[in-house]
């Protein structure tokens, strides 16, 4: 798994399910099997505890030693944790649809937490994307760049300093994560935010109870941990991140998809362009909420069933093995096929219909033998090189939407997901 210890369990995840036809229930990472609406969608299990602790005592005020990156030009920012190396490589230029032109089929694969753990899933999917013309969004939990020995620097809203519902990383995992973040950005991937402590659900002080001011504190701390990791860790042998995070960060996803109402105002105040914290919407063309693009997880078909499933790995797990992340191995092959077929059915519905973007959310975990990781890998390989398909980041979708004629976007939003359009008449 991608947890700190490399043992079984999970490090704080989303639990959102679809009940009956389209009834949603939400849970939290520390709820331990609490009942849910309609009694059908189990809550996610509690996070595990890290086996390791940082091995070295960080130097309080290190001297920055940024290392040249891809173009040899580095302008250190602050303590040298981040740097300005120029525009991000491999970014497409958004273009307005021409008269009669069919929209591209956008597919976004996104990852919550973005820790490079013992299982090396971050590097696995970063490389997979590069091999399949797929750029992705990695939502980084800020405390994954903060050593456990410095955990008291984190002041979560409504909780004691240094507390979190996920593990703090070991020094080795922080270094590995920083390396993958650097390489991902150079690959053209987006580094978003998953905030910090993953507080959500029925526990007191979850993100759903936070005010806009508390969300601002959480967000500002996430940015601070990423932009000051060199001071906080004392690492002198790790290259700077090759980007200015205060400028590159334009979107995030709240833990458990909770608190979007107050979160949006905080994100807007920090110049965010999108939010990916909304659950359970149909595959339709996006709209803005409070001036910020709303990129929700979506309801996808379950082939052979009347129900639909939220487009996130944990929700397939919840419907297949309930509250356990280690179900019956005899069912793994069938569950993997079920998950893959649902993703592909959602893709085919819009690819041959409205061309609304497909949004898929994931965690770096080996739940049920890693079948959800394999299902996502199969989908990447199946769809990303197809004609008129663009596997992109959320930021790139926002770029494209901003370049379009608002009247054309209104017409696209009126289409049902599987409804083929008369593109020459619709796009003028």
What CATH code is carried by the domain that includes residue 167? Answer: 3.20.20.370
Asked if pLDDT for residue 10 goes beyond 70, the answer is no
- Classify 295 as helix, strand or coil: coil
pLDDT band at residue 375, thresholds of 50, 70 and 90?
A: very high
Count of other CB atoms within 10 angstroms of residue 91: 15
Asked if pLDDT for residue 6 goes beyond 80, the answer is no
What is the tens place of the pLDDT at every residue in 289-330? Answer: 999 999 999 999 999 898 899 999 999 999 999 989 999 999
Asked if pLDDT for residue 30 goes beyond 70, the answer is no
- For residue 190, being part of any structural domain is answered with yes
Q: Which residue has the higher pLDDT, 66 or 129?
A: 129
- For residue 368, being part of any structural domain is answered with yes
Number of domains in the chain: 1
Q: Which of 280, 274, 273 is nearest to 258 (CA)?
A: 280
Q: Which residue has the higher pLDDT, 8 or 283?
A: 283
pLDDT of residue 72: 55
- For residue 320, being part of any structural domain is answered with yes
What is the tens place of the pLDDT at every residue in 158-171? Answer: 999 999 999 999 99
Ranges 14-28, 57-71, 198-212: which has the least confidence: 14-28
pLDDT band at residue 280, thresholds of 50, 70 and 90?
A: confident
C-alpha 205: how far from chain center: 22
What domain range includes position 176?
A: 92-426
Asked if pLDDT for residue 192 goes beyond 90, the answer is yes
The answer to whether the CB of 69 falls within 8 A of the CB of 85 is yes
The answer to whether the CB of 263 falls within 8 A of the CB of 237 is no
- For residue 43, being part of any structural domain is answered with no
- For residue 387, being part of any structural domain is answered with yes
H or E element at residue 185: helix 171-187
- For residue 15, being part of any structural domain is answered with no
pLDDT of residue 56: 42
- For residue 72, being part of any structural domain is answered with no
What is the tens place of the pLDDT at every residue in 223-259? Answer: 999 999 999 999 999 999 999 999 999 999 999 999 9
- For residue 145, being part of any structural domain is answered with yes
For all residues of the chain together, what is the average pLDDT?
Answer: 86
What is the C-alpha separation between 305 and 141, in angstroms, rounded? 35
What is the C-alpha separation between 329 and 271, in angstroms, rounded? 46
């Amino acid at each position: 798994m991608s947890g700190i210890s490399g043992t079984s369990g999970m490090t704080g995840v989303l639990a959102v399910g679809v009940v009956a036809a389209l009834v949603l229930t939400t849970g939290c990472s520390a709820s331990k099997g609490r009942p849910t609406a309609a009694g059908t969608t189990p809550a996610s299990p509690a996070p595990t505890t890290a086996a390791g602790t940082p091995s070295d005592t960080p130097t309080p005020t290190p001297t920055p030693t940024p290392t040249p990156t891809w173009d040899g030009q580095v302008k250190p920012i602050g303590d040298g944790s981040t740097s300005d190396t120029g525009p991000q490589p491999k970014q497409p230029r958004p273009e307005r649809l021409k008269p009669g032109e069919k929209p591209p089929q956008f597919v976004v694969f996104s990852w919550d937490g973005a820790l490079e753990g013992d299982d090396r899933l971050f590097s696995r999917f970063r490389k997979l994307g590069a091999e399949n013309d797929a750029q992705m969004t990695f939502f980084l939990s800020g405390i994954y760049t903060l050593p456990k020995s410095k955990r008291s620097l984190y002041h979560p809203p409504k909780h004691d300093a240094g507390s979190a519902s996920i593990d703090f990383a070991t020094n080795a995992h922080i270094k590995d994560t920083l390396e993958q973040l650097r390489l991902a950005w150079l690959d053209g991937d987006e580094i978003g935010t998953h905030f910090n402590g993953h507080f959500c659900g029925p526990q007191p002080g979850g993100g759903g109870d936070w005010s806009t001011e508390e969300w601002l504190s959480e967000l500002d701390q996430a940015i601070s941990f990423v932009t000051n990791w060199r001071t906080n860790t004392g690492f002198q042998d790790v290259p700077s991140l090759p980007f200015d995070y205060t400028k590159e960060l334009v979107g995030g996803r709240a833990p458990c998809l909770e608190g979007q109402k107050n979160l949006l105002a905080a994100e807007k105040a920090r110049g965010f362009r999108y939010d990916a914290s909304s659950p359970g919407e149909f595959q339709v063309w996006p709209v803005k909420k409070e001036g910020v693009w709303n990129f929700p997880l979506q309801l996808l078909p379950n082939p052979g069933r009347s129900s639909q499933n939220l487009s996130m790995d944990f929700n397939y797990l919840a419907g297949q093995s309930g509250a356990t992340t280690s179900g019956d191995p005899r069912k793994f092959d069938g569950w993997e096929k079920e998950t893959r077929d649902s993703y592909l059915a959602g893709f085919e519905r819009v690819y041959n219909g409205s061309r609304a973007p497909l949004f898929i959310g994931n965690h770096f975990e080996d739940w049920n033998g890693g079948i959800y990781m394999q299902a996502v890998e199969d989908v990447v390989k199946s769809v990303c090189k197809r004609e008129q398909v663009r596997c992109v980041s959320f930021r790139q979708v926002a770029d494209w939407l901003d370049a379009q004629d608002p009247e054309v976007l209104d017409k696209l939003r009126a289409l049902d997901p599987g409804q083929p359009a008369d593109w020459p008449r619709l796009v003028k």
